Amino acid sequence: MRELDSCVTTGTQTHASDGMATLLVTTPEKARQLSPRPEIVIRFVAKAEQRTHPAFMPEAPTLAVQKLLAKTGITMADIAVVKSHNPFAINDAIFSKVMQYDWRR
């Protein structure tokens, strides 16, 4: 999004009212061809959206993760790596506390 001339990108918003999302759909073969790490397989499993009161906006990503885990039956123990695109440290602090996730992992 260079045309925005901003440090805010499409992957860094936390709330539906000010966020954007991008999804690239391709074949596994094309993804391997384009990837700098073709040995890593990334598979889209599910999505979840969650709104909260604007004053509690930093909680929204954690609420969405909880909803997603409940929807899929996946637990935090099943997840090897957590990657966050949150623009504020408070989002990650809330996630770590609520999900009992050791951010140093």
**What are the structural domain ranges in the chain?**
2-98
What is the Cβ-side half-sphere exposure of residue 82, based on CA atoms within 13 angstroms? 20
Residue that has been written with the tokens 């996946």 in this structure:
74
Q: What is the pTM of this model?
A: 0.64
Q: What is the pLDDT of residues 47-100, one digit of tens each?
A: 888 888 877 888 888 998 999 999 999 999 998 888 877 778 888 899 999 999
More confident residue, 2 or 33: 33
